[in-house]
Structure 1
Amino acid sequence: MSSSEVDIEADPDSDTEIDANPDEDINIGTANTMRERSDESRLKLWAVLGANRLAVTALLAIAVFVAFVVAGSLVYPPFASVVTSADTIETMFSTMLGAIITGTTLVVTISQLVISQENGPLGEQHMRMSDTMDFREYTQELIGQPTPADPSAFLRAIVNATERRAKALRGSIADSDNDQLRAEVDEFTDSVTGNSEEVRNELDGAKFGSFDVLFAALNYNYGWKIFQVERMADDHADSLTDEDGALFEELKTTLSMFGPAREHIKTLYFEWALINLSQLILYVSVPALVVAGSTLAFVGGDSFTGSLFGLPNILLVVAGAFTVSLLPFLLLLTYIIRIATVAKRTLAIGPLILRDSQR
């Protein structure tokens, strides 16, 4: 989960400060998954994010076919008579031919734009490499080990470092006379530990190219954690030693590293997914064009007589041809829904909260 899934809005006209009052109930911990924090349907998240895109495309295609057959069975006059007396098939599939060709051209253009992002002169490529290595070296200092090359291991290392520093902070605060501070740090550390364990389990064995790595990263609400670190350090500044203050700052820095790491992996995934989408649409466009063209050329009202399971054969044939012709669009729809959903959930980087999931 991104930081944009929790709602703490900075309103200068409202009293949002949380006082260090021992009797006040402060909600510091959060649920460990994006679905639990946003209180959204498991089915919805599965459909728009978690499910395999080809499986969702197949389900949509089946739904389109069934809807077409049901509509064709209920309309009056009957579908067979409409096809015979009008140029329904010609109008429908000539339009589909144009849409497939236009859509395929558009997708090829998108693919070229994505690939163009990776092209550039030598100096620009050298700068990209330098920035990457600087980030890896800085991450190595924070996590205390060589920065992993595998994306899932990379995120796991940052999550592990965050958990270690949260526990170190709790150990340092354990002797504090401020009961409220100890209670808040304990609750915060328990929340970090639970969230870290959930994300580690999801990242374990996840391979880049699938959505699993990015989906696990979305479950780690680092932005809310940064906000709580800042708030606790400010509310209890008078009770903190220099060592405590340094531990708060180190924890905040480690949490802050998760943001750019996740955004980098998200960007790579978007490029990967758009290239995959371009390939798949090119693959299905050929059979879609063949089916649409063949239906336009060879199918008429008297081409398929009789019925199957009480349904006119011409209706089943046209419904099947229409569904196959629609496959490029359905593929585009399923991929763009996922990309758009992730982009919306990760609009903000850092502790800038945009969603009403934790008031």
Structure 2
Amino acid sequence: MGSSETDETLESYGTEIGKRTNSVTRVREWVLVEGDRLFIASLVSVAVFLLFLSMNEIGIISFANDDSITRLAGGMIAGTFSLVTLVVSINQLILSQEFASAGDAREQLESVMSFREDVSETTDVAASPASPSRLLELLVETINEQAVALDDAVSEYDDAEVRELIGRYTNSIEESTDRVDDTLEHTQFGTFKAVSAAVGYDAAWQLYVARNLRGRYGESLPDDAVDALDDLIGTLELFNTTREHFKTTYLQKELTRFSQLTIYCGVPAILGAMTLGFVYADLTGPTISAVYLPFVASALIAVVISPLALLVAFILRTATVTRRTASVGPMLPQKDPDAGPFDVTDD
């Protein structure tokens, strides 16, 4: 075994959303993926309200010019209509994926049933759970058990370096599966926490290492170790498939929810922009006292940008999840070509 195999640690090259290093990382993860999207959108609207109030107090902007505000209100109305139209188009695209003929629906059903049978055989249960979070939990527990079995099978292997490498690999699997299992036990599919735990579990890296171990040392390892390694590879492949399916299902639900909320917020936003224009429609100037005008105008602007705040909140999450799961299986674009734990030069 080359020096690169012993010097490099078996660290993950994946997302590992469950790990937290500092407060900045925790805040970033909460904003990007974990925080409630409605709450994030509300924070954006409140921030806009406070921003306009603050700039008015400092003297950077003013709400006294009728022409500027009425032009702004007209632009807001046009922009809100465009955003709502875009969201309706996204919703139609999602719905188009749901339409299927009887033959297509039957093929989908047969493929799902075949997959669930594979899960049942791999995890040694009578029937795989119907709940997506429980199914993921079952696969994670099976991966943990197979990693323990692999570690036990090489406990008396002659080559100390290979034994140490496999030991570090199985220890990393046990740590990550315990973390994900704790999360999945207290979640239900429909909340992002379950999807986040599945996305954060770096099965692609574990599958990459397992296949390398199998290819390099399969002929010299004990038979029970090879069997345990083959079982682990099969379960990791099933986990990758399950995660991709549930991730796609969740993103469809998320985008559908985003479409509904945008429609709900779109009508108040348009009415708010119209109200802002009417406040300045009087020939004598604004119909509201100058004392309260900054508060009213800032509040109406915050209402108008609420659909945009929703777009920001939901796109942050969906784009982050999609970026972190851009590849399926042991294809690791974030991994350095010469990074460990295996020497990648030609023999």
Post-superposition offset of 1:22: 11
Once residues 224 and 171 of structure 2 are traced to their aligned partners in structure 1, the CA distance between those partners, rounded to angstroms, is 21
Whether 1:334 aligns to 2:313 is yes
Q: Which residue of 1 aligns with 2:222?
A: 241
Q: Where do 1:248-327 residues align within 5 Å?
A: 248-299=229-280, 301-307=285-291, 313-327=292-306
Unaligned stretches of 5+ residues in structure 2: 341-347
1:20–1:179 distance in 2 versus 1, CA, 3 Å: farther
Whether 1:116 aligns to 2:96 is yes
- Any idea what SS the aligned residue of 1:67 has? helix
Post-superposition offset of 1:66: 1.3
Is 2:150–2:228's contact at 8 Å kept on the other side of the alignment? yes
- Aligned pair count? 332
* TM-score normalised by the chain length of structure 2: 0.89
Q: Which residue of 1 aligns with 2:343?
A: none
> Which one of 93, 105, 120 corresponds to residue 85 of structure 2?
105
1:267–1:243 distance in 2 versus 1, CA, 3 Å: same
Is 1:147–1:154's contact at 8 Å kept on the other side of the alignment? yes
Q: Where do 1:144-223 residues align within 5 Å?
A: 144-145=124-125, 146-223=127-204
Provide, for residues 246-275 of structure 1, a one-character-per-residue CA deviation record: whole Å limited to 9, x for no partner.
221211111111111000000001110011
Post-superposition offset of 1:306: 4.0
Post-superposition offset of 1:342: 0.4
Once residues 354 and 65 of structure 1 are traced to their aligned partners in structure 2, the CA distance between those partners, rounded to angstroms, is 41
Post-superposition offset of 1:345: 0.4
Is 1:33–1:198's contact at 8 Å kept on the other side of the alignment? no
Once residues 181 and 286 of structure 2 are traced to their aligned partners in structure 1, the CA distance between those partners, rounded to angstroms, is 61
1:62–1:116 distance in 2 versus 1, CA, 3 Å: same
Q: Which residue of 2 aligns with 1:34?
A: 17
Q: Which residue of 2 aligns with 1:66?
A: 50
| Percentage of pairs with the same residue | 27
Q: Quote the RMSD (CA, aligned, Å).
A: 2.4
Query: Which stretch has the larger CA shift, 247-256 or 293-302?
Result: 293-302
Query: Which stretch has the larger CA shift, 29-38 or 264-273?
Result: 29-38
1:239–1:66 distance in 2 versus 1, CA, 3 Å: same
Query: Which stretch has the larger CA shift, 259-268 or 224-233?
Result: 224-233
Runs of 4+ in 1 over 6 A off after TM superposition: 37-40
Unaligned stretches of 5+ residues in structure 1: 1-18, 308-312
Amino acid at match of 2:293: I
- Any idea what SS the aligned residue of 1:34 has? coil
Once residues 156 and 109 of structure 1 are traced to their aligned partners in structure 2, the CA distance between those partners, rounded to angstroms, is 36
Query: Which stretch has the larger CA shift, 196-205 or 227-236?
Result: 227-236
Is 1:176–1:239's contact at 8 Å kept on the other side of the alignment? no
Q: Which residue of 2 aligns with 1:8?
A: none
Once residues 237 and 201 of structure 2 are traced to their aligned partners in structure 1, the CA distance between those partners, rounded to angstroms, is 12
- Any idea what SS the aligned residue of 1:239 has? coil
Once residues 180 and 8 of structure 2 are traced to their aligned partners in structure 1, the CA distance between those partners, rounded to angstroms, is 24
Once residues 146 and 335 of structure 2 are traced to their aligned partners in structure 1, the CA distance between those partners, rounded to angstroms, is 29
Amino acid at match of 1:62: V
Once residues 97 and 161 of structure 2 are traced to their aligned partners in structure 1, the CA distance between those partners, rounded to angstroms, is 51
Query: Which stretch has the larger CA shift, 121-130 or 20-29?
Result: 20-29
